[in-house]
Amino acid sequence: MSSSPKLEVKPDPDGEEPEAKRGRIEGLDTLGPYIADQDNAKSFVYLSDIPQLCKDEPCVLGVDEAGRGPVLGPMVYGIAFSPIDKKDVLKKLGFADSKQLTEEKREHIFDEMNKQDFATESIGWAVEVISPNDISMSMLRRSKRSLNEVSMDSAIGLIHKAIEAGVNIAEVYVDTVGPPEKYQAKLKLIFPNFKITVAKKADSTYLIVSAASICAKVSRDHALKVWKFREGTDPEVKFGSGYPGDPVTKKFLGDFDRVFGFPRLVRFSWSTASNALDKKAFDVEFDDEDEEQEKAKATYGSEKLSKYFAADRNEQRKRHEYFRERHLEHVAEI
């Protein structure tokens, strides 16, 4: 995983402050613009500035996710970290399981933790926004990776990011994926020097996991708010929460291109999406030449005749406008 880009912010020609400092997230006002600047077909990692206290003092680190179940949009993994003796800061901010809080309350807490000095001096955080495109390709490629594997790899990768940034981690608390005992044993093998606790409902038990949960949930919500459809889909289209039971999501999934299917917002590896395609999408057949036809191809000497009609390999061929307009790309692995 790559670290978040440090983008140069150019001054406004009228002398006003830019609407958002695109290189860093400093609250709600910069969260959406930062995410909108990323390619939503690819996953990315964002790491906040690291408070000096988090480098000097032993820290507790929490891990949680948002968006594991929906058929639409990214899954976001989040971590938060703070000195062990700064629990009062976590309490003051009002951390609780993000799923138990209203959207307005979650956003208020996220804004406070990124703007108030007492918070920025003792709390850091990071998220990985895992694109629906990457989720689908991981689950459908020849050597499949389950959603649990994608989740664990993301959590482990974020912990490594914190270590590389100099965070002095002493304790790690994780909201479980699968059986907590197996997950905890796996993490202990990778991070033997940390006290590690993996538990169900950790986001409602440990304040630092609640902080990670809020970072993940608010980031996912804003990723959906600023989603850019590259396939020509109406940008004002309503797609709902992404959960299969949501009537708005059901309506959105019922209307798609019968040849090319869904836009990249949809996790096409989900049975909800594949079942919808099975019912309405056109069947597509690909003809393969059999071995006899291949052997019968005309050749001259030891070279294939087709060689003389092939384009120069060094020539940069421009892809047809049809494919460029629909953002169709070659895939290296299926």
d(CA 125, CA 48): 6
Nearest to 214 by CA among 86, 97, 313: 97
Q: Is 175 annotated as a binding residue?
A: yes
Tell me the two tokens of residue 114.
């990124």
| Extended strands (E) in the chain | 44-47, 59-66, 75-83, 124-130, 169-175, 195-199, 299-300, 303-304
Helix 180-190 to helix 147-164 angle (10° resolution) is 40
Q: What SS3 state is found at 210?
A: helix
- Taking the C-alpha atoms of residue 158 and residue 194, their distance in angstroms, rounded to an integer, is 15
Q: How many Å apart are CA 135 and CA 77, to the nearest integer?
A: 13
User: Judging by beta carbons within 10 Å of its beta carbon (0-12, 13-18, 19+), is residue 36 exposed, middle or buried?
Assistant: middle
Residue 213: Cβ-neighbour burial (10 angstroms; 0-12, 13-18, 19+)? buried
Instruction: Please count the other Cβ atoms lying within 10 Å of the Cβ belonging to residue 48.
Output: 22
Q: What is the amino acid identity at position 267?
A: R
Query: What would the 3-class secondary structure string for 87-145 be?
Result: HHHHHHHCCCCHHHCCHHHHHHHHHHHHHCHHHHCCCEEEEEEECHHHHHHHHHCCCCC
Residue positions in the annotated binding site for a divalent metal cation? 64-65, 175
Residue positions in the annotated binding site? 64-65, 175
